Structure 1
Amino acid sequence: MDLRHLGRTGLRVSRLGLGTLTWGRDTGEQDAAELLKVFWAAGGTLVDTADVYGDGGAEYLLGRLVGDLVPRAEVVIATKAGSVPDPDRRFDGSRGHLLAALDASLTRLNTDYVDLWQVHAFDPATPLDETLQAVDIAVASGRARYAGVSNFCGWQLAKAATWQLASPGTRTRLASTQMEYSLLQRGVEREVLPAASDLGIGLLPSSPLGRGVLTGKYRQGTAPPESRGASEGLAAFVAPYLDETASRIVDAVTIAADGLAVTPLQVALAWVRDRPGVAAPIVGARTARQLGQALSVEDLSLPDEICRALDDVSAPVHRYPDHDWSAL
């Protein structure tokens, strides 16, 4: 698998990443081991997790497997901190919480450092400079090699990255931002992607298959028994993408796939992988077979006319202030 630089840094990652959202919860150790082996055998390097995935179980599983199944030096471990199980305060970006969370992650991951440490979300109750100071301490201490953010909107990303760039050599440049991005969710194109491009930050798209809907598995109107849509815990996660608009986009993806003699999954994943500013979509496969289908996209490049058709059918509506009002 080809490698790409993550933003304007020296860190290179595989152009598909392996997500672990369900590890330690719906995905047990045997299945996780098979996923990791298949991913590494295909040349994959980037494995994305978080301290809250499976209440820490995802990190624990990954820590048990890396080293035994694949060499630690050949895996780019990315984790996140900042989400908390508190309905009154969903995110904690305080220096104390973040650094304690990182230490706990390192213990579960059974490693001295993570390759990419990400602030999971913006915390409006904590000064941003305090949050970013934790990032600088993590990198300066060697506990993290690179840093990024996740779920920051455009102005939050721009403010954080600009603050870090204001004092080169003493503050850590942000390497990445992780956001949901697919043919069913193109909201990042409004402000996040332009900001990231201008500031030299790579985008790591989560849910690049539209929470599984772009595979076409829900076209019959019912959720397959083992799908996320049929899961009690994840059905609500899938539901927003089962509307009429999504159905039209899925139909277009299916038509394109039929014309290319590939699957809808491959078309949807190739589209987001090759969008400007994208470093590596994060694929959360449930089985090794599903992961193999995603990895097979490595040799697929969509023709320009198909890209244009998919762009048109999925185009988000951006008006003011994006619309050119100079002609009025």
Structure 2
Amino acid sequence: MHQRPLGRSGLAVSRLALGTMTWGRDTDPDDAADQLKIFLEAGGTLLDTADVYGDGDAESVIGSLLDHLVPRDEVVIATKAGLTPRRYRPRDASRGNLLRSLDASLRRLGTDYVDLWQIHGSDGQTPFEETLAALDQAVASGRVRYAGVSNFAAWQTARAATWQAAFPGRAPIVAAQMEYSLLERGIERELLPAGAALGFGVLAWSPLGRGVLTGKYRNGRPLDSRAASEHMGEFVRTYLEPRSSSIVEAVVTAAGGLGVSPLEVALAWIRDRPGVAAPILGARTAGQLQGALRSEQLTLPAEIAFALDDVSAIEVGYPEREGVSYPTTYFG
């Protein structure tokens, strides 16, 4: 599998990442081990997790697998902190909470450092400078190698990246983990241009439009699907609407013409978008992951990529349209 730099940093990551949101909940340790083996055999290196996935169980599963499946220095572990189960404060990006969460993550992962640590959402109660200072402290201590953010608005991400670049010794923002797919292209308005200007790369979560781009919902909601589950149903139903259906049909048509699956087409499209370092694969089973990894062998013909761009295009109005550009010297 090809490796890419994460933004303008020295951190190289596989251009497909393995997500672990379901590990410890819908994916048991044995199935997780099978997934990791398949991913590693395909040349994958980037594992994405968070302290809240499975209430910490996802990190614990990763830690148990690192003991015997792969040497620690052969994988890139990305985790996140800042979300909490507390109703009165569901987001807590205070220095104290973030650093406590990092220490707990390291214990569960069974390692003394993570390669990428990301703030898992903005927190309106904590001064921005305090949150970013926690990143600096974590990197300076050696517990974190690189820093990033997740689910921040474009202006917040740009503010964070600019603040961190303003003074020597601060930890640069090298990554923004955001939802991005043919069904959700909102980050193209401002966040992707900001990444090109400021040097951070995008890790795309839900690159299959929460599973809808696989085509599985074209004729209803299978009983074993996420849309039919109690804890994921609303998450998926957001994209079970007419606009999404027209995009899915275009993907299915392209897949038929190429002799591949809709899943492969959708992943190849997002993987090769300007500014994307890696889409994050969120498979529940080893079989699903194998299907997703086949996209590594597919490069979309230009005419198909353009057709998918057109059918899924979002409206870009004033003032965003005045500043959208992607310097080819950065994205290559």
Do both share a fold (TM > 0.5)?
Answer: yes
- Pairwise mapping of residues 114-263 of structure 1 onto structure 2 (< 5 A)? 114-168=114-168, 170-220=169-219, 222-263=220-261
Structure 2: distance between partners of 1:116 and 1:92: 19
Stretches of structure 1 that go unaligned for 5 or more consecutive residues are none
Partner of 1:73: 73
**Cα 1:42/1:323, change in 2 over 3 Å:** closer
Q: Match of 1:8, SS?
A: coil
How many Å apart are 1:88 and its aligned residue?
2.4
Give the conservation status (yes or no) of the 8 Å contact 1:14–1:44. yes
Aligned-pair identity (%)? 64
How many Å apart are 1:232 and its aligned residue?
1.0
How many Å apart are 1:266 and its aligned residue?
0.3
- Count of residue correspondences: 323
- Pairwise mapping of residues 34-113 of structure 1 onto structure 2 (< 5 A)? 34-113=34-113
4+ residue segments displaced more than 4 Å: none
How many Å apart are 1:319 and its aligned residue?
1.9
Give the conservation status (yes or no) of the 8 Å contact 1:45–1:75. yes
Amino acid at match of 1:56: G
Structure 1: distance between partners of 2:273 and 2:240: 24
Post-superposition Cα deviations, 1:265-324, rounded to whole Å, max 9, x if no partner, equal 000000000000000000100111110111111111001110110000000122232346
Amino acid at match of 2:17: G
How many Å apart are 1:201 and its aligned residue?
0.2
Amino acid at match of 1:200: G
**Superposition TM-score, scaled by structure 2 size:** 0.96
Structure 2: distance between partners of 1:87 and 1:274: 39
Partner of 2:267: 269
Structure 2: distance between partners of 1:200 and 1:308: 26
Stretches of structure 2 that go unaligned for 5 or more consecutive residues are 323-332
Please provide the CA RMSD for this pair. 1.1
Structure 1: distance between partners of 2:321 and 2:148: 30
Structure 2: distance between partners of 1:96 and 1:66: 28
Post-superposition Cα deviations, 1:211-244, rounded to whole Å, max 9, x if no partner, equal 0000000000x21222111111101100010000
Matched, 1:312 2:310: yes
Which range moved further: 88-97 or 275-284? 88-97
Structure 2: distance between partners of 1:181 and 1:322: 18
